[in-house]
Amino acid sequence: MASLFKKKTVDDIIKEQNRELRGTQRAISRDRAALEKQEKQLELEIKKMAKTGNKEACKVLAKQLVQLRKQKNRTYAVSSKVTSMSTQTKVMNSQMKMAGAMSATAKTMQAVNKKMDPQKTLQTMQNFQKENMKMEMTEEMINDTLDDIFDASDEEEESQDIVNQVLDEIGIEISGKMAKAPSAARGLPSASASTGTTISDEEIERQLKALGVD
């Protein structure tokens, strides 16, 4: 019972109108079919009267045929009008729905604008930009410090490798010199020989300077 007294919405009204228009279209189509059937019968009657030579009957039937064809053409015009009305109703319904959607969107935007403070939003964006710049500067400083640490470590290792190489070359050179020592030294006691093979600090410094290493 509650549905009987329920207020009809726009969609309900449009649905009812569309049902009525479809019913009208079906009725027009039935009338047109009946007129076409009657039209064929009149054409047969006219041919029959023409064969018998009854000209008066042919004229009467011909007038009826003309009126019938005019009525059939009217059904096409009415049918086209009904179709146009149905289309127009659907377009209006679509426009009303779009207007409703735009109205709801406008209300939502209005509520958001009331809640939003432009000055506060601008300040938030500026603070974000400032903190982001601070973070980037801090990250850059940390990266530079790490690069300096690792670069210094690499340079120290490279310097140590050069010193080791130089010392190895000095050892090879001194050993070669001792191998070419005079044979008279061979008669010296073993202790003296071991003393002769000792490399002094002055000799090492001289060899380093000769190789260009301070």
CB count within 10 Å of CB 181 equals: 12
Q: Angle at CA 81, nearest 5°, toward 80 and 85?
A: 120
Q: Which helix (H) or strand (E) holds 62?
A: helix 55-115
pLDDT at residue 157 in the model = 67
Which band of pLDDT confidence, cut at 50, 70 and 90, is reported for residue 34?
very high
Report in angstroms the alpha-carbon separations of 118 from 34, 123, 126, 162: 73, 9, 12, 66
**E strand or H helix at 184, and its extent?**
none
What is the average pLDDT score of the chain? 76
Taking the C-alpha atoms of residue 130 and residue 140, their distance in angstroms, rounded to an integer, is 15
Q: What is the CA radius of gyration of the chain?
A: 57
Query: To which residue do tokens 């096409």 refer?
Result: 76
d(CA 29, CA 35): 10
pTM of the complete model beyond 0.85: no
CB 166 within 8 A of CB 213: yes
Tens-place pLDDT, residues 126-184: 888 888 888 888 888 887 787 776 665 566 666 666 666 766 766 655 555 545 545 44
Q: Which helix (H) or strand (E) holds 211?
A: none
* pLDDT exceeds 80 at position 194: no
Per-residue CA distances from 181 to 67, 80, 193 (Å): 147, 129, 11
Q: What is the pLDDT of residue 167?
A: 67
What's the gap between Cα 56 and its chain centre?
A: 81
CB-count exposure of residue 183 (10 Å: 0-12, 13-18, 19+): exposed
Residue 197 has pLDDT above 50, yes or no: no
What the block records as the tokens of 137 is 């500067």
| pLDDT given for residue 70 in this prediction | 92
pLDDT 10s digits, 61-93:
888 889 999 999 999 988 888 888 888 888 888
What is the per-residue pLDDT for 189? 46
- Asked whether 68 and 35 are in contact (CB, 8 A), the reply is yes
